[in-house]
């Protein structure tokens, strides 16, 4: 929260205290009607700090144990709901209890447990409002991932897809891949010209939560650049990509669909806190004292408003 907003909160707080003591107050000076208008304007002034500027958000705030298919929460998806490729009862992807956690990253609700009952794997898809480089020259995507399996050798690939809302469009795949040496590493893939992958040197550890962040720099006349960061500092310091798509020459149209994919029989791919925004800070939110203060003052304003209406 910026300094101007903090001063605004402090001024109203002091005015409220003076009114309780019977002294000079803003309410007494301008009258109740004007004070109501001032409080309403103040809340609108502070609202951007509460809502942020995310383009798309999915925190899987659904009841634990329920299927992902048909779920419709989140931000930026319009009327679109989740669909799943697996249709066999008992094999459907469901909500796991509790969120994945990474440091102080803000997390809500539960998490998606993507099951892989067959060797061909499974996937969940959902369309969202199309976003492209003509609107946002740089975009950031972030999500949490945790892989549960009997052994590293038993898994193949699992990743988050960002694609156009047509099934055949070129997209970017962010997650876990098997490199030429059989190692399970984080990387960036694409379905352009078959399937190509850029591997990082960061290996996957089972039953461990990772925060993956990707910076997409759009090039309206050529290939985009995608940088992948594995477990970056949440304050944005020291951002060094684990791998970039410079060698892949991925040319994207837009992002309008998110897909969550997992391969190999008997593996559970846990996904959580998918965000698409315009900056790293938007996809890596952490609780701050100023945010807590803002929420507290919102409650105080509501109380003051009720007193004004009664009095």
The region, left, alpha or beta by phi > 0 then psi within -120 to 50, assigned to residue 280 is: alpha
Dihedral pair phi/psi, residue 138, rounded to 5°: -130, 130
Q: How many angstroms separate the CA atoms of 25 and 15, rounded?
A: 5
pLDDT given at position 148: 93
Assess contact for 260 and 114: CB atoms under 8 A: yes
pLDDT given at position 6: 45
pLDDT given at position 163: 93
Residue ranges, the chain, pLDDT below 50: 1-6, 9, 13, 16, 24-27, 44-51
Q: Where are the domains of the chain?
A: 3-52+289-310, 56-277
Q: How many angstroms separate the CA atoms of 5 and 243, rounded?
A: 39
pLDDT given at position 5: 45
CA 28 to chain centroid: 45
pLDDT given at position 308: 56
pLDDT given at position 116: 78
37 token code pair? 């208008």
Model confidence, pTM? 0.78
Dihedral pair phi/psi, residue 140, rounded to 5°: -125, 135
What single string gives the DSSP state of each residue in 158-197?
A: EEEEEE-SSTTS--EEEEEEE-TTS-EEEEEEE-TTS-EE
pLDDT given at position 166: 64
**What HEC string does 78-108 produce?**
CCCCCEECCCCCCCCCEEECCCCCCCCCCCC
Neighbours of 282 (CB within 10 A): 18
Domain 56-277 CATH (choose: 3.40.50.1370, 3.30.300.160, 3.40.50.410, 2.60.120.560): 2.60.120.560
Assess contact for 273 and 59: CB atoms under 8 A: yes
pLDDT given at position 154: 83
CA angle 35, 41, 42 (to 5 degrees): 85
Strands (E), the chain: 56-58, 83-84, 94-96, 111-115, 122-131, 138-148, 158-163, 172-178, 184-190, 196-203, 210-217, 225-230, 243-244, 255-262, 268-277
pLDDT given at position 169: 85
171 token code pair? 């997209």
Burial class (CB in 10 A: 0-12, 13-18, 19+), 302: exposed
């Amino acid at each position: 929260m910026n300094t101007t907003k903090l001063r605004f909160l402090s001024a109203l707080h002091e005015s409220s205290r003076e009114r309780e003591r019977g002294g000079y107050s803003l309410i007494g000076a301008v009258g109740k009607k004007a004070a109501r208008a001032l409080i309403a304007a103040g809340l609108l002034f502070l609202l951007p700090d509460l809502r942020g500027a995310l383009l798309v958000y999915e925190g899987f705030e659904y009841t634990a144990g329920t299927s992902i298919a048909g779920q419709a929460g989140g931000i930026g998806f319009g009327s679109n709901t989740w669909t799943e490729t697996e249709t066999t009862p008992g094999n459907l992807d469901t909500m796991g209890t509790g969120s994945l956690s990474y440091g102080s990253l803000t997390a809500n609700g539960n998490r998606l447990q993507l099951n892989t009952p067959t060797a061909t794997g499974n996937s969940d898809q959902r369309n969202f409002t199309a976003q492209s480089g003509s609107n946002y020259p740089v975009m950031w995507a972030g999500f949490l991932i945790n892989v549960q399996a009997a052994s590293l050798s038993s898994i193949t690939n699992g990743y988050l897809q960002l694609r156009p809302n047509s099934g055949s469009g070129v997209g970017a795949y962010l997650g876990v891949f098997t490199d030429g040496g059989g190692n399970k590493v984080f990387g960036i893939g694409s379905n352009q010209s078959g399937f190509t992958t850029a591997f990082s040197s960061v290996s996957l550890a089972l039953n461990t939560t990772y925060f993956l962040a990707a910076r997409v720099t759009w090039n309206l006349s050529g290939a985009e650049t995608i940088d992948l960061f594995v477990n970056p500092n949440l304050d944005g310091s020291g951002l060094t990509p684990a791998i970039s798509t410079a060698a892949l020459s991925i040319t994207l149209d837009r992002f309008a669909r998110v897909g969550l994919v997992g391969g190999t029989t008997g593996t559970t791919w846990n996904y959580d806190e998918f965000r698409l925004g315009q900056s790293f800070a938007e996809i890596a939110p952490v609780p701050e004292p100023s945010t807590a203060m803002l929420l507290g003052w919102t409650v105080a304003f509501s109380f003051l408003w009720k007193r004004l209406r009664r009095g």
